[in-house]
Amino acid sequence: MSTGVTVSSMSTYAILGCGSVGHAVADELADEEKDVLILDRDESRVEALRDQDLNAKVQDIAEPDVVDAVADRDVILILSSDVDANKAAVRAIREHGSDQYVVVRASDPVSEDELADLGADVVINPSTVIADSALRSLESGELEYKARQLADILRATNGKLAILAHDNPDPDSIAAAVALKAIAAEYDVDADILYDGEIGHQENRAFVNTLGIDLHARDDAQPLDEYGALALVDYAETGGNEIDAEVDVYIDHDEPDTVIDAAFTDIRKNVSATSTILTKYLQEFDLSPDETVATALLYGIRAETVDFKRDTTPADLTAAAYLHPFANHDTLEDVESPSMSPETLDVLAEAIQNREVHGSHLISNAGFVRDREALAQAAQQLLNLEGITTSAVFGIAEDTITLAARSKDIRINIGNVLREGFSDVGEAAGHSKQGTAEIPLGLFTGIETTESNRDTLLQLSEEAVRKKLFDAMGVESSATPGSGSGESSNGS
């Protein structure tokens, strides 16, 4: 229940029950020169409060006439350690028909619920408050400790730092790398941001080009073991590709499938973006991000949380709020609204036409494609359809079947689904929200690819991919592949 009025805007207060908690609150309000009335049944305590120039009166807060004593007060803080007395006070105030703002102290989860049912606007459990405060202090202390460790590694780096993003990097991975490069620069360490695969998604290309981010394909850079140090950021999605060098720094918001032995590791599964973690490091190092770094990180968080609509945590929101004044919002708008290429539009149209839906799972074949990244964009677009929680779109590019999947279903890890379904015939990688798989066409069908048998191969691969994927999801496929009907017999 809430009256929509904040305590700080109110002018008169009453504290009912003035033990250690009530006394601390009374002192704070008095320091802010608030009009505070204190009621307590202990006469000696009331006298002591009066000696401190506090407005205190003797009153048993469990008695019904407490309502008259606080009739002229806007905010009632019921802070006695006697929960039964607190219940009686809340009951009396609400039965009197008062619309005063009531904050009350509980002792355990049961009394929290009971006091809320009686009509309290805010219920406080001191043990919970203390636990929350302890956890916040622990988190702050751990970040400080981690920052010192990271600083020690950067100081000890002799030569350039290689920052490796995950394969076919997305905005979160790129932004985290950009931020780590900025932190390294504060320690006079130059860094190269490297990646495997390609930056194919048009939003990702717009992101890199518009912000002028300097990225290097790993094949075009010097070997990893020739750098002074190696950092992996947001790398779990890659699926644990072998790294031919010693890893010094590993930072991610997901646990990797294979253990990565690094001198410094920070994995936080309680946030939704690696960009959030790097923002916290910027704050801990007391570094104000420049416009490029702030814009990149803010976009990384927004992209990873689908503009704060998916798995967003308080840490993601506070990081975004911190970055907001430093970022270029015109640039963000340009990045988030790139024009759709004709190839992507064709792939999306084909995927919509050929979709097969079982419950909340959608699978579609986009046919022969030139741009593999268009499959990922189509999968993301199809995930926005009503009732769909998991989407997968596959197509044939050259001699390879490429599959891209997206999920917002907390019950499944789509990366694991793809590994289960396709690791025996190809390569699969990903995490709980997205994944990719690549299967050599000839290995999958047992037929060598020629111009004359393309349609046959498409049909064979379509049937096999759908079956393996639905089996991995625990769903039985029943629709006729390639029928163009777009729905299964039990589709949504």
Q: What is the pLDDT of residues 65-77, one digit of tens each?
A: 999 999 999 999 9
Question: Do residues 252 and 265 lie in contact, with contact meaning Cβ atoms separated by under 8 Å?
Answer: no
Record the tokens describing residue 95, joined without a space.
């039965």
> Going along 55-209, which residue ranges are E strands?
56-58, 75-78, 101-105, 122-124, 161-164, 191-195
Note the pLDDT of residue 445. Answer: 53
> Residue 448: pLDDT above 70?
no
CB contact set of 188 (below 8 Å; sequence gap of 6+): none
Note the pLDDT of residue 488. Answer: 42
Note the pLDDT of residue 339. Answer: 56
Q: Give the pairing type, strands 400-407 and 434-440.
A: antiparallel
Note the pLDDT of residue 32. Answer: 85
> Residue 417: pLDDT above 90?
no
User: How far is it, in rounded angstroms, from Cα 332 to Cα 274?
Assistant: 19
> Residue 20: pLDDT above 50?
yes
Residue 337: band (very low, low, confident or very high) from pLDDT cuts 50, 70, 90: low
Note the pLDDT of residue 285. Answer: 93
Given phi > 0 = left and psi -120 to 50 = alpha, else beta, which region is 275? alpha
Phi, psi angle pair for 73, to nearest 5°: -100, 140
Choice among 96-105, 226-235, 410-419 with the minimum mean pLDDT: 410-419
| Residue type at 373 in one-letter notation | E
Note the pLDDT of residue 79. Answer: 92
Give me the long-range contacts of 18-25 (CB less than 8 A, separation at least 24).
18/45, 18/49, 18/56, 18/79, 19/79, 19/80, 19/81, 21/79, 21/81, 21/105, 21/126, 22/77, 22/79, 22/80, 23/49, 25/77, 25/79
For residue 467, the tally of other CB atoms under 10 A from its CB is 15
Record the tokens describing residue 97, joined without a space.
């028909």
Q: In terms of pLDDT, which residue wins out, 3 or 69?
A: 69
Residue 6: band (very low, low, confident or very high) from pLDDT cuts 50, 70, 90: very low
Residue 490: band (very low, low, confident or very high) from pLDDT cuts 50, 70, 90: very low
> Residue 291: pLDDT above 90?
yes
Predicted TM-score (pTM) of the model is 0.59
Note the pLDDT of residue 42. Answer: 92
Residue 141: band (very low, low, confident or very high) from pLDDT cuts 50, 70, 90: confident
For residue 474, the tally of other CB atoms under 10 A from its CB is 9
> Residue 332: pLDDT above 90?
no
Note the pLDDT of residue 11. Answer: 76
As a whole-number percent, the residues of the chain with pLDDT over 70 amount to: 88
Record the tokens describing residue 455, joined without a space.
């349609």
336 burial level (CB within 10 Å; 0-12, 13-18, 19+):
middle
Question: Do residues 406 and 390 lie in contact, with contact meaning Cβ atoms separated by under 8 Å?
Answer: yes
Q: What is the pLDDT of residues 343-390, one digit of tens each?
A: 778 888 888 888 888 888 899 888 888 877 788 888 888 888 888 889
> Residue 450: pLDDT above 70?
no
Strand order in the sheet with 101-105: 56-58, 35-40, 12-16, 75-78, 101-105, 122-124
Q: What is the pLDDT of residues 401-410, one digit of tens each?
A: 888 899 888 7
Residue 38: band (very low, low, confident or very high) from pLDDT cuts 50, 70, 90: very high
As a whole-number percent, the residues of the chain with pLDDT over 90 amount to: 40
Residue 473: band (very low, low, confident or very high) from pLDDT cuts 50, 70, 90: confident
Note the pLDDT of residue 492. Answer: 32
